[in-house]
A and B are shown apart, each in its own frame.
Chain A
Amino acid sequence: MSAAEILAVIRDELARIAPEIEFDTLDSAIDLREQADLDSMDYLNLLTALHQRLEVEIPDADAQKLATLDGAVAYIEAKRGAAAS
């Protein structure tokens, strides 16, 4: 799965939680929770959706690593790559 495909899934799931945000204007290096006004419950729901759709384990201790789009894509790529090899 490419980074673009992972990003598309994130975009899709984020749209369910925060339908009014404009995904293309997000800065991929800045905390998503601040930019998209996600509260703790929203962020947990996003992680839940990514876990279920992309079948990656996201331990609670790693939750912070997915807080930016860059971080989330890198984390998921690494996890899926590790699982595939």
Chain B
Amino acid sequence: MIEFRMPSLGADMEDGTLVEWLVKPGALVKRGDIIAVVETQKGAIEIEVFDTGVMERLLVEPGVTVPVGAPLALIRGEGEAPGAAPPAAPTPAPRPPPAPAPVAQPEGRLPPPPAGPHIRISPAARRFAAQRGLDLTGLQGTGPGGAIQVADVEALAKGAPAKRAGFDFSQMRAAIAAAMARSKREIPHYYLTDTIDLQAANDWVAAVNGVRPPEARLLLGALFVKATALSARAYPEFSGRFEGGAFHPGAAVHVGVAIAIRGGGLVAPAIHDTADLDLDTLMSQMRDLTGRVRAGRFRSSEIADPTITVSSLGDRGVEGLFGVIYPPQVAIVGFGRPGQRPWVADGQLAPRMLVTATLAADHRVSDGHRGALFLADIGRRLQQPEAL
């Protein structure tokens, strides 16, 4: 029998609240299926399963908060007979050993949010409340045993101020604060900056987009992400995780794309196997990801898997940015606002489309010399956009 556990979705996550099961006992599940929704500081996250089999038993009810690593359900693997495993008591599992932290950080740990009292509520009412971001604390239901039903939540909704679904901005701010404080405490950053000539890339994108409808167009941001992914594959010390006092290069490059959330905060979920995607596929995945992030829905693997982050400001904002590495990653590449600026090309002063690219990287893993080569490699790739 396979235990499906509360996943760790970032170094700062201690526990999560099960919001909803998307499968029932007896259902076939296969690796990659989304089977549950969990509420974390980063919002509601769709949780994927890593095994294939039959959902044997759900161990945790919606509304319950459990620590990272606690079993949520039992899955009968392929070839296992039904009931082959001894019945596991639905008790919280011992907390798994925390990820080893290189330095003591007594002040850095967030106190775990208080475990909510168990609320009796129908699944439909819970979904209704979750979609509208309603706080059910103290709500007295009118169903059997005081259970909250849809009608109760609807009544609450009429009087409640609207809240954006999926996000608790104070929670998100706390999550960002914890991750960034840990980064600045533990990661000896070094910073490099370079100006990249974007004229070729910009002309190429304009030519490609000229004949396409808006839904098929590319943004320069997709080229930045692809170029960074290819360069990270060539310079593996910038893509991976620093854990347990050592660097572990990523087997594949999964670029985390920083996406601002309207109203405050940001997340940087992964585009998986970024270096292997053609630009159109990458662009459509970035669109899809942005839409889902804004709607407050993204997947567990997207939060857990980035090996390097790209932060791109687009056509508004400032000239350049110096990123803070998201632990346990070891590098973040920043692209400022591309713009026309004076530039000397072939001995002539001329207006050119330029962008300021920056690298913040972990000095425990790499040095400025390699960082400079890495950043220059990104710039070189952007000179041949058709090859991206």
Residues of B close to A44: CB separation below 8 A = 214, 217, 219, 287
Query: Closest CB-CB distance, A39 to chain B, in whole Å?
Result: 5
Interface-side segment among B89-97, B204-212, B270-278: B204-212
Residues of B within 8 A of A2 (CB): none
In whole Å, how far is A30's beta carbon from the nearest beta carbon of chain B? 14
Given A20-B263, A37-B262, decide whether A45 and B316 contact each other with a Cβ distance below 8 A: no
- A41 touching B316, Cβ below 8 Å: no
Report B314 CB to chain A, min CB distance, Å.
4
Give the chain A neighbours of B212 by CB distance below 8 A. 60
Q: Are B164 and A51 in contact (CB under 8 A)?
A: no
Closest-CB distance, B37 to chain A (whole angstroms): 21
CB pair A59 B210 closer than 8 Å: yes
**B280 interface residue per 8 A CB criterion:** no
Q: When each residue 37-65 of chain A gets 1 if its CB lies under 8 Å from chain B and 0 otherwise, what string results?
A: 10111001101100110000111110000
- B215 lies within 8 A of chain A by Cβ: yes
What are the residues of chain A within 8 A of B219 when measuring CB–CB?
40-41, 44
B288 → chain A closest CB, angstroms = 11
Indicate if the CB atoms of A20 and B286 lie closer than 8 Å: no
Residue of A nearest to B317 (CB): A39
A48 and B214 contact, CB distance less than 8 A: yes
Quick check: is B213 within 8 A (CB to CB) of the other chain? yes
- Inter-chain contact A52/B215, CB cutoff 8 Å: yes
Q: Which of chain A's residues 1-24 have a Cβ closer than 8 Å to chain B?
A: 17-20
- Per the bound structure, the CA–CA distance linking A17 and B286 in Å amounts to 15
Report, as a range, how many residues of chain A touch the other chain: 20 to 34
As a 0/1 sequence over residues 47 to 75 of chain B, the CB contacts with chain A under 8 angstroms (1 = contact) are: 00000000000000000000000000000
Assess whether B221 is in contact with A47, with CB atoms less than 8 Å apart.
no
Instruction: Give Cα distance in the complex from A27 to B263, angstroms.
Output: 20
Chain B minimum-CB-distance residue to A61: B210
Q: State which of B209, B215, B221, B286 has its C-beta within 8 Å of the C-beta of A60.
A: B209
Segment 212-247 of B: residues with Cβ below 8 Å from A: 212-215, 217, 219-221
Flag if A41 contacts B214 (CB, 8 Å): no
Shortest C-beta distance, B265 to chain A (Å), equals 14
Which chain A positions have C-beta within 8 A of B316? 33-34, 39-40
Q: Are B314 and A40 in contact (CB-based, < 8 A)?
A: yes
The answer for the CA separation of A66 and B286 in the assembled complex, in Å, is 23
B244 CB to nearest A CB, Å:
37
- Return A34 CB to nearest CB of chain B, in Å: 7
Judging by beta carbons under 8 Å apart, are B217 and A60 in contact? yes
Q: Which residue of chain B is the closest to A60 with respect to CB atoms? A: B209
Contact A40 B164 (CB under 8 A): no
Instruction: Assess the A47–B164 pair: CB atoms within 8 A.
Output: no
**Taking the complex as formed, is B386 at the interface, i.e. its CB lies under 8 A from any CB of chain A?**
no
Give the Cβ gap from A85 to chain B, nearest Cβ, in Å. 23
Which of B164, B214, B260, B314 contacts A58, CB < 8 Å? Answer: B214
Q: How far is the CB of A48 from chain B (nearest CB, A)?
A: 4
Please tell me if the beta carbons of B262 and A18 are within 8 angstroms of each other in the complex. Answer: yes
Question: Closest residue to A36 on the B side, CB-wise?
Answer: B262
Which chain B positions have C-beta within 8 A of A48? 213-215
Contact B262 A20 (CB under 8 A): yes
In the complex, the answer to whether B213 meets A51 with C-beta atoms within 8 Å is: yes
Specify which of A41, A45, A51, A60 is in contact with B314 (CB 8 Å cutoff). Answer: A41
Chain A nearest CB from B164 CB (Å) reads: 7
What B residues does A59 contact at CB under 8 A? 210
A contacts, CB < 8 Å to B: 17-20, 33-34, 37, 39-41, 44-45, 47-48, 51-52, 57-61
Interface positions of B (Cβ within 8 A of A): 164, 206, 209-210, 212-215, 217, 219-221, 260, 262-263, 286-287, 290-291, 294, 314-316
Having A20-B164, A48-B215, one finds 13 other A-B pairs with CB under 8 Å, namely: A41-B286, A41-B314, A44-B219, A47-B214, A48-B214, A51-B213, A51-B215, A58-B214, A59-B210, A60-B206, A60-B209, A60-B210, A61-B210
Contact sample, A vs B, 7 pairs, CB 8 Å cutoff = A19-B262, A20-B263, A40-B220, A41-B219, A41-B221, A51-B213, A57-B213
